Structure 1
Amino acid sequence: MGKRSTRPMTGDRACVITLVHGTFARDAPWTRSDSALSTSLRRAGCQVTQFAWSGRNSHRARSDAAQGLVEHLRRQLADHPRARHWVIAHSHGGNVALHAADRLRAARGGASRVTTVALATPFLHARSRRITGWPLFIIVLFSALLVGSASVTAVAGPRSAADVALVVGGGVFAAILALCAVGAFLHRRSLRPGWRSRLIGAIHAPTARPDEVVVIRAAGDEASGLLAAGQFVGWLSAAATRLLTSLWFWTLLIGLPQLAVVVSAVTGHGGRFAINLLLYGFTAPGLAMVAVVAAMAGSAVVFGIDGPFAGLVASCSAEAAPPGTATLVQLEPRTSVTRSGLAHSSLYDDEQVIGYILSAVRPSAQS
């Protein structure tokens, strides 16, 4: 006879729940055993566990957390093979939970016994973008000219408002380049062939199914501001991509300064006037173009420190729901908040929310 396993057989549990905190909330009180939600779930017959991750605001941190949650859920599935498993996640923890459930589903051949309840989650969407060829060359050229000119002006000392604008613009762009370098360092182990598609896949929320994903939101949640900002910068990023790949844009950008030089020569103005026209006529649209590029890269800053790096290959936005057909529960505006004064940080303590979650998990808890 083979050796008998020493793992305790606890498969009699019908409902197992994992609580996942959000960004910068590793020790979130609502995930503790004495919280209102945990207490209510245990009284309903569920086993409640917690999953802690770094809580850092970056694509890399959320991706690493999703893999850690996969391992946690695998252990729970092995210990409770006949139970119904739930993940209740708050804020960006919802993105972590969706990716974990998707990876687990893929590893199990499409089968899943895990349902995700996402509380006030800004679901991340990512669309691939690629700028190559001569547009990329000119972008790099103008970027080098901007940073170089700003550096020289800063060393020599700004003497006009235009000089100050040049230094500030160059400094902002240099900071974005530095963030891109930080993002590349964070993802250095993944920079192999196919890294673009892997990065986009790690950011983009998996397609939801109505029986596997429940989204609960409250009107007036502070996260609504992040959603609005994320949607705006996503639109701005997509618009900038269309602009930078437009032949008309580059024709005007390069042609107008040359036309200014020709006009100055025909009208008899001096060489100094022609040079000024060339410099200002070429620099002004050039700086506008670089500002657009900076907006493209900087638009992803709201998604984490490695957001600008991801913004080089993807247009990102934050949406109220994941792709697919999730079950959406929209609550009325909140009348009470936590001591912190944030509605976003009280959703998991709301009696209406707890009641809805109990009504959803109770059938499996009593089966």
Structure 2
Amino acid sequence: MLWSGANSIFERDRTAQLLAEYLAAEHAEHPLASQLIIAHSHGGNIALRALHHLQMRDGSGSEVPDGAHPLVATLATPFVEIHRADFGSRPFYIRVALTMAMLFVSLILAMGLLFLVMWLVPALTARMPSDGALVIGVYEIIVCLAVGGVGWRWIVRDRQKQVAALENVTRLGELASAKRLLVIRAIDDEASLALALGTILNYATERLISGSISLFAVLTVIALFGNKWWPATISPWAYPVTLAGFIVLTFMLFGALMVSRMVHGRELARSPMECQVNTQSAPDAADLSQIVTLVSRKYVKSLRHGIYEHENCASAISDWVRAQLGAAPSVQSH
């Protein structure tokens, strides 16, 4: 059984299902043997999802009496859960801003293509009705309806199923085997810090995109009417510059939003915004067996995310396993 290592929420869940099947088969073949999973980074999310699938094998959601109950030790795992959330009108404004930017770009490209065809095919210009402005206006309306229709469908379409699917495949909190779970973590773990930074950037870019519409509206009024009110102050190029700035800023911010969401899983880059990501160094579970925070007391060049290289990591796992199995703890020499 192999995991591609891809930063994919659904890929991790599929791997967890395979792991659950493997554990169940091994337990059936060796029912008296103790199973131990040592999982690093997102491997911990896979291991906990495997526990979930093992609990669900009988269809009741509880542990099967004679089923597999492996011991699980996670190392520097950023436990990721996705929950449905209500952000008010913010997601709507974000989608409207992106739709407007796409609409403006489509109009500019469509008009450019039209004039290019008219320039390359003079006969087409000659055959155009005397009221050419009407033809161009109808052409613009068709483009607006096509792009606007696609954008509006994106805004109003049913997104609840997508959120529910993401919420389901990241459910970790309902762990009946939490007493058999060891969490080993590090201070200032690089992976956890990267996910925290992604969360902060996600919040900031969402607020900036939703606020860009109001800023664009104010600047548009100033640019369009300011040339009449203050001709010596407002340049005729004010509106084109404002429009170009709105388009570029919206696309840049939306790109940053996709990247900030992608750090938790690539599916979130294109997922609905009506969900929030919970990332913790330990899962929300009652009666968790043990949490061990390994502190580096000397400078090391290796990353803290490579916590398995810590001098006390192996002994922490060994002592915990011995305690779970009722054996005497190992003796360390100092």
The verdict on a shared fold, with TM-score over 0.5 as the criterion, is yes
- The answer on whether the counterparts of 1:99 and 1:206 sit within 8 Å (CA) in structure 2 is no
Q: Which runs of 5+ in 1 are unaligned?
A: 1-50, 154-190
Counterpart position of 1:86: 36
**Pick aligned residue for 2:203 from 238, 245, 266:** 238
Pair 1:60-2:10 in alignment: yes
Computed over aligned residues only, the root mean square deviation of the Cα atoms, in angstroms, reads 3.9
Q: Kindly provide the CA deviation profile for residues 231-269 of structure 1, in whole angstroms up to 9, marking residues without a partner as x.
A: 1211221344455556xx533322321233212111235
The alpha-carbon deviation at position 59 of structure 1 amounts to: 2.3
- The answer on whether the counterparts of 1:237 and 1:315 sit within 8 Å (CA) in structure 2 is no
- The answer on whether the counterparts of 2:159 and 2:272 sit within 8 Å (CA) in structure 1 is no
3-state DSSP class of the match of 2:73?
Answer: strand
Counterpart position of 2:292: 329
Counterpart position of 1:289: 250
**Pick aligned residue for 1:265 from 228, 248, 252:** 228
Q: 1:132 to 1:332 in 2, by over 3 A?
A: closer
Q: 1:141 to 1:358 in 2, by over 3 A?
A: same
Counterpart position of 2:166: 199
- The answer on whether the counterparts of 1:218 and 1:334 sit within 8 Å (CA) in structure 2 is no
Distance of 1:358 and 1:267 partners within structure 2: 78
Q: Which runs of 5+ in 2 are unaligned?
A: 113-157, 328-334
Distance of 2:56 and 2:230 partners within structure 1: 70
Amino acid across the alignment from 1:194 = K
- The answer on whether the counterparts of 1:218 and 1:330 sit within 8 Å (CA) in structure 2 is yes
Which range moves more in the overlay, 280-289 or 229-238?
280-289
Q: Normalising by structure 1, report the TM-score.
A: 0.60
Q: Kindly provide the CA deviation profile for residues 302-357 of structure 1, in whole angstroms up to 9, marking residues without a partner as x.
A: 345545234756444643222345432101116597xx945544x33555222222
Q: 1:91 to 1:85 in 2, by over 3 A?
A: same
State the structure with more CA Rg.
2
The alpha-carbon deviation at position 364 of structure 1 amounts to: 4.7
Distance of 1:136 and 1:192 partners within structure 2: 13
3-state DSSP class of the match of 2:179?
Answer: coil
Pair 1:110-2:62 in alignment: yes
The alpha-carbon deviation at position 142 of structure 1 amounts to: 0.7
Pair 1:250-2:213 in alignment: yes
Counterpart position of 1:21: none
The alpha-carbon deviation at position 101 of structure 1 amounts to: 0.9
- The answer on whether the counterparts of 1:139 and 1:290 sit within 8 Å (CA) in structure 2 is yes
The alpha-carbon deviation at position 119 of structure 1 amounts to: 0.6
Q: 1:143 to 1:364 in 2, by over 3 A?
A: same
Distance of 1:70 and 1:145 partners within structure 2: 50
Q: 1:225 to 1:357 in 2, by over 3 A?
A: closer
The alpha-carbon deviation at position 78 of structure 1 amounts to: 2.1
Distance of 1:243 and 1:120 partners within structure 2: 33
Figure out how many residues of one structure are paired with residues of the other and give that number.
270
Which range moves more in the overlay, 70-79 or 249-258?
249-258
**Pick aligned residue for 1:214 from 164, 171, 182:** 182
- The answer on whether the counterparts of 1:119 and 1:215 sit within 8 Å (CA) in structure 2 is yes
Distance of 2:106 and 2:190 partners within structure 1: 32
3-state DSSP class of the match of 2:263?
Answer: helix
The alpha-carbon deviation at position 94 of structure 1 amounts to: 0.6
> Pairwise mapping of residues 1-367 of structure 1 onto structure 2 (< 5 A)?
52-81=2-31, 84-108=34-58, 109-111=61-63, 113-128=69-84, 135-143=94-102, 145=104, 194-203=161-170, 205-207=172-174, 210-219=178-187, 224-242=189-207, 244=209, 250-268=213-231, 273-274=235-236, 276-310=237-271, 314-316=275-277, 318-324=279-285, 326=288, 327-333=290-296, 335=298, 341-345=302-306, 347-348=307-308, 350=310, 352-365=312-325
Counterpart position of 2:117: none
Distance of 1:330 and 1:99 partners within structure 2: 23
Q: Kindly provide the CA deviation profile for residues 284-306 of structure 1, in whole angstroms up to 9, marking residues without a partner as x.
A: 24433333322221113334554
Distance of 2:179 and 2:222 partners within structure 1: 62
